[in-house]
Structure 1
Amino acid sequence: MTSTRIAVRRGDPRARVDLAVGALAPRLISRDESRAHVALAAAGMMLLGGDSVHLKIEVGEGCVLQLEDVGGTIAYRADGHPSSWTLDARVEVGGTLLWRSLPFVVTDGADVVRRSTIVLAAGATAVIRETLVLGRHGERGGRLASSFTARDPDGPVLLEHLDLDGSTPEPGVLGGHRVLDTVIALGFRPLVSTGDLVLEHPGAIARHLGTETHTSRLDRVCDEWSALPALARNVSGSE
């Protein structure tokens, strides 16, 4: 398995940005001495049955990494060969990771294990958007086992695991919905609305359940929460 790697370190006059292409291809859009804006696209067709995608992210001390997807991810029919998608991210002291990912679609017959792990050093922050979709239009969707783990120097901040199967929806999970849209703030306390979950450690989760992605309210939430950690460092959260 070839990993995709994105690492950002402070530099003068511009940050040092190390990019390695795996199943995903990162492309540098802009940078200054402590901030990098990187686009992420598929290097080939994925996810096919048996594919294994690994993304490693390192945000250096005092740096800001803004990631954006170019096209979402579609998991195709597995035909007995499960695929995997793994994120390992570490944000060093005072760093910020901002990632507005596009929908992750699990089509009929797909079988995917998705794991996301975020490790925050002291004073580090992150805002992550994940949009999980069971099936394309007219489909019920395949199987998805999705986990999200976040830790800071004091221990676990968030531990979640979700098992979904479009062919056998479970009451109390997604029910009749096919879209689970989530924005996760870590390392700071954003302004929240009714229904948002406030974490014990600094952080919060906003969620939307629906049948279509365009009905979600979370574009605004992602914009507002992404601005906060960046503004605290006098750095804009968007281009």
Structure 2
Amino acid sequence: MSTATPDTRIRVQRDASRARAQLVVGKLAPRLISRTPDRVHVGITAAEMILLDADRVHLDVEVGPGCTLHLEDIGGMVAYPRRRPQEPGPPAEWHVSLRLAEDARLVWEGLPFVIAESADVQRTTSVQMAAGARALIRETLVWGRSGETGGQLRSTTHAYDDAGDILFEDLAADAAAPDPGMLGEHRVMDSLIALGFDPEPAPGDLVLAETGAVARHLGADTHSSPLSGRLAVWRRDMTSSPSS
């Protein structure tokens, strides 16, 4: 995990009149779309051309007690080819820290994260859950732009609460040298991650030992994924299912 200081921050707190939102622009630019006393809708896009060689992006998000944050990607993200792919060098880094206070809610509708040919990316997502918190995260990883093979990615997702780990996943995949049993011929890995509530399951879903589930689709393109429709269903489940 990177120890670099976060360059982009989002803080939201519930308020009697309108929820408060503190948005700090770094390499990413969060923009307020709307807010109510207990809900904030924020769009997030790149503030500059990223991810290039050795770029380090760190987004830090905190959702206050009883508040709901709806994060919406605008434009997706591309990890661009390395300028000198034959020479050794540090990977581009993408780190996300999410902290949910008691009874907080987070919905993150992520757009595709593309690993271009010869790109080298280290990607981490950390989710800290307090009592009663719930999160729903859409994550779409795409190896290669149109006509490309795609680069290499090391991606770690770690969700936890005071009792310990809820989810830990560690993926290493290089489209130029695919490992058996990983992606096969697929170039798209689409995921829905539910934490703190039990969504409506389907065959093939990973039901977590703690409350939550992961739905995943491997395919040749993004538009064939069925998870867009299931996102709406899981958002309903997140709101309507009883507190654990």
TM-score per shorter chain, which class?
over 0.9
* Residues 1:206 and 2:206 are matched in the alignment: no
Q: Which of 35, 49, 53 is matched with 2:53 structurally?
A: 49
Aligned equivalent of 2:164: 155
Aligned equivalent of 1:237: none
Alignment of 1:1-239 (within 5 A): 3-78=7-82, 79=84, 80-231=89-240
* 3-state SS of 1:77 partner: coil
Distance in 2 separating the partners of 1:230 and 1:38: 19
Q: Aligned letter for 1:111?
A: D
Q: TM-score, normalised by structure 2?
A: 0.93
Distance in 2 separating the partners of 1:142 and 1:118: 26
Q: Aligned-pair distance for 1:214?
A: 0.5
Q: Give the 4+ runs in structure 1 shifted more than 4 A.
A: none
* 3-state SS of 1:68 partner: strand
Gaps of 5+ in 1: 234-239
Q: Aligned letter for 1:98?
A: V
* 3-state SS of 2:125 partner: strand
Q: TM-score, normalised by structure 1?
A: 0.95
Gaps of 5+ in 2: none
Distance in 2 separating the partners of 1:124 and 1:13: 22
* 3-state SS of 1:195 partner: coil
Q: Aligned letter for 1:28?
A: L
Deviation per residue, 1:120-164 (Å, 9 max, x gap): 000000000110000011111011000000002221000000001
- Number of aligned pairs? 233
Distance in 1 separating the partners of 2:141 and 2:37: 34
* 3-state SS of 1:114 partner: strand
* 3-state SS of 2:223 partner: helix
Deviation per residue, 1:163-192 (Å, 9 max, x gap): 010100111010111000000000011111
Identity %: 50
Q: Aligned letter for 1:156?
A: D
Tell me if structure 2 keeps the 8 A contact 1:64–1:230. Answer: no
Tell me if structure 1 keeps the 8 A contact 2:188–2:218. Answer: yes
Instruction: State the superposition RMSD in angstroms.
Output: 1.2
Q: Aligned-pair distance for 1:225?
A: 0.9
